[in-house]
Amino acid sequence: MKKSAFILILIPISMACSVGNGNEEKNIALIESYVQAVENMDYDAMETYLDDSYIGMGPSYGDSIGKVAAIENWKNNVENLYESIHYNRSRNIAISITSGDNQGDWVSNWGELNIRYQGDKGEVTLWANSIYQIENGKIVKSFTFYNEADAMEQLGYVFINLNDL
């Protein structure tokens, strides 16, 4: 009896979770391709996935960047800073927001990244979350969150409160 009740509860829940606009699989595939371009440090490929109106937000409050500057930033980082980027773990979920602010199709990517810097600058492992809004098969907006202080500490930086000096 308990199994029957459990199954009866799961049926509506699973139906509610599967309801969407039909773009979930192709939107996840787009983000998987974008993540692969990041991991390959292929800024030319990254550019093809971003809409011309793209705006990226984060990781700090108030940070924002447009498509042209984002690609130039990636190009500079690939050529002068990063030796490699590897996603140890990467998971995606697609949702559609149908009311309120930021309506549209979104994919959230949770990742554990390992970034190795050029020379003897070291490496870091980060938990990162990026949320991408997708329109017409392109990324139009993203919000990225990770702990910048954690990355700095892993690289050997020490934080000192100037009031303690």
Q: In the chain, what are the domains? A: 22-157 (3.10.450.50)
CA torsion angle for 70, 71, 74, 79 (degrees, to 10)? -150
Report the C-alpha gap between 39 and 157 in whole angstroms.
Answer: 25
Average pLDDT, consecutive stretches of 10 residues, N- to C-terminus, the chain (165 residues): 51 44 93 96 96 95 93 95 96 94 95 96 96 97 95 94 91
Q: What pLDDT was estimated at residue 104?
A: 96
Which residues are paired to 163 by β-bridges?
none
